[in-house]
Amino acid sequence: MKAVKITAAAFLATFVALTAVCLAAGPKIRDALSPTADYACSEDILLGDRLCQSLPESAVRHDGEGSYVLLAVPSEKYPERCYEARRTEVEVLETVDGRAALGYGVRPGDKALIGEDVEAGERVVLGREAG
Amino acid sequence: MVKRVSRLFIAILAAAFVLPAAAVIVASLKEGIKPYVDFFVWEPKYLRALAVSMFIAFLSSAGSVAVSVLAAYVFSQIKFRGRGFLFYIYIIVMMMPFQVTLLPQYIISKALGIYDTPAAMIFPAVFSPFAAFLLTQIMKSIPRDSIEAARLDTSSTLKIILRVIVPQMRGGVVCAWVMMFAEQWNMVAEPLVLMESEKNYPLAVLLSKTGPGAFSFAATALFMLLPLGLFLIFESEILEGLEGYRLK
């Protein structure tokens, strides 16, 4: 009986301590476990007489549903300031000097993630800005 | 034969109570420990709610026991006019469904400026009549002689309560604390009325909003852990407290 009490007390103490640690160090733990992804900012590009947004080709992904980019958007799920990858459908109009001119989906200054190890909806740590 | 049948009946009854809890734990482990990692790392809303539950349940139960010990002393040891009537009112309030007192609690919390804070849950619980009623019944069994003897050493009533009375009814105090803790831990309707920000909700409220899935089961399993652990740790004290109450 005493052993049960001691085990239960130790278990509860661990549980409460774990809760406290995860609350206090949650942002750091999440940063350590989140993938780091480089990003590129959307820039203006003139396509004939049409002003479009452009991103490096490596930021544009393709699957059965079409072309899309993963934008780094501020996450509301976590209490700390951080980003999550949000899938945004885009239309690639043309490729000029390694940059894809996009018809829609991206606004000036949007941060598009580069790299394969990020999935939509995932929390990400921003790495370096691609040139 | 009768003994065997009654044992079988009790075993079936026990299984009926244990099976839902066991099913929750089994279902939570269907995806391994991922739902538990999600709870502690990737779902800060739920972790915060767990901490809020701990905060509310601990403070309200501790406060309730502190106030109730004093109230129980008055009801059991001090003779004054209207004592029986006042205690009768306590029992009436205790018997009332909580929905009856919910609207006054809402109005008072608004007036005190504690609406939508954990204090809106803690304050009414501190003055809950249940613990006072339980401790009064237990305190009545303490021999008057020991209290009179203590009066020869000190004139401080508080010292007598803390050094003479409480040690004699340790089981009852622990029992009242654990039962109040469990009551506060499980509350769902009160937080929904007394709070409106989701960040202040205890885990019981958030659990009622989660859909089916391994994560919900893991959160439910973790929700059960604290009251269950407290019961295991203080089982003998709880039984002693209830026994003391039964003898009255």
- Residue A122's closest chain B neighbor by CA? B42
Domain count, chain A: 2
Q: Are both A28 and A57 inside the same structural domain?
A: no
DSSP state of A35: P
Instruction: Phi first, then psi: give them for residue A11, nearest 5 degrees.
Output: -65, -45
Nearest-angstrom CA–CA distance, B53 and B224: 12
Give the rounded distance of the alpha carbon of B87 from its chain centre.
21
Q: Are both A43 and A77 inside the same structural domain?
A: yes
Question: With bands split at pLDDT 50, 70 and 90, how would you rate the model's confidence at B245?
Answer: low
B244 has a pLDDT exceeding 70: no
Instruction: Quote the percentage of chain B above a pLDDT of 70.
Output: 98
Tell me the per-residue pLDDT of A87-96, one tens digit each, with 9 for 90 and over: 999 999 888 8
Tell me the per-residue pLDDT of B145-165, one tens digit each, with 9 for 90 and over: 888 888 888 888 899 999 999
Question: With bands split at pLDDT 50, 70 and 90, how would you rate the model's confidence at B41?
Answer: very high
Closest Cβ opposite residue B41 in set A8, A12, A33? A33
**H-helix segments, chain A:** 2-33
B247 has a pLDDT exceeding 70: no
Q: Are both A16 and A77 inside the same structural domain?
A: no
Across chain B, mean pLDDT equals 90
Query: What residues make up the domain containing A27?
Result: 1-33
Residue corresponding to tokens 């019981």: B204
* Cβ B52 vs Cβ B203: under 8 Å: yes
**Nearest-CA neighbor of A86 among A48, A38, A124, A30?**
A124
Q: Are both A25 and A53 inside the same structural domain?
A: no
- The torsion of the CA quartet B41, B44, B49, B55, rounded to 10 degrees, works out to 70
Q: Are both A70 and A92 inside the same structural domain?
A: yes
Q: Are both A82 and A119 inside the same structural domain?
A: yes
Query: Which pLDDT score is estimated for B232?
Result: 92
Question: With bands split at pLDDT 50, 70 and 90, how would you rate the model's confidence at B208?
Answer: confident
Test B229 with A12 for CB contact under 8 angstroms.
yes
Query: Which pLDDT score is estimated for B147?
Result: 86
B219 has a pLDDT exceeding 90: yes
Look up the CATH number of the domain holding residue A48. 2.40.420.20
Hey, is the C-beta of A14 within 8 angstroms of any chain B C-beta? Answer: no
Tell me the per-residue pLDDT of B109-141, one tens digit each, with 9 for 90 and over: 999 999 999 999 999 999 988 999 999 999 988
Q: What is the mean pLDDT of residues B4-16?
A: 92
Residue ranges covered by each domain of chain B? 1-30, 32-246
Q: What is the mean pLDDT of residues B95-119?
A: 91
Q: Beta partners for A70?
A: A87
Q: Are both A109 and A76 inside the same structural domain?
A: yes
Q: Which residues of chain A have pLDDT under 50?
A: none
**In Å, how far are B22, B46, B225 from B209, measured between CA atoms?**
21, 11, 20
Query: Which pLDDT score is estimated for A97?
Result: 84
Q: Token pair of A71, please? A: 């934008």
* Cβ A117 vs Cβ A35: under 8 Å: yes
Domain B32-246 matching CATH 1.10.3720.10: the answer reads yes
Site from B215, B226, B233 to mutate, A interface, most A CB atoms within 10 angstroms: B233
Q: Are both A46 and A104 inside the same structural domain?
A: yes
Of the listed ranges A69-73, B56-60, B70-74, B142-146, the least confidently predicted one is B142-146
Query: Which pLDDT score is estimated for A10?
Result: 94
* Dihedral sign for Cα atoms in the order B37, A16, B53, B114: negative
Q: Token pair of A87, please? A: 């899938």
Q: Token pair of B44, please? A: 């800060």
**H-helix segments, B78-212:** 83-95, 98-112, 119-126, 129-139, 144-153, 157-160, 166-168, 170-185, 189-194, 203-207
Q: Are both A8 and A56 inside the same structural domain?
A: no
Test B225 with A12 for CB contact under 8 angstroms.
yes
Q: Are both A68 and A110 inside the same structural domain?
A: yes
Question: With bands split at pLDDT 50, 70 and 90, how would you rate the model's confidence at B246?
Answer: low
Q: Are both A22 and A58 inside the same structural domain?
A: no
Query: Which pLDDT score is estimated for A76?
Result: 87
Test B226 with A12 for CB contact under 8 angstroms.
yes
Half-sphere exposure of B79 (CA within 13 A, CB side): 1
B248 has a pLDDT exceeding 60: no
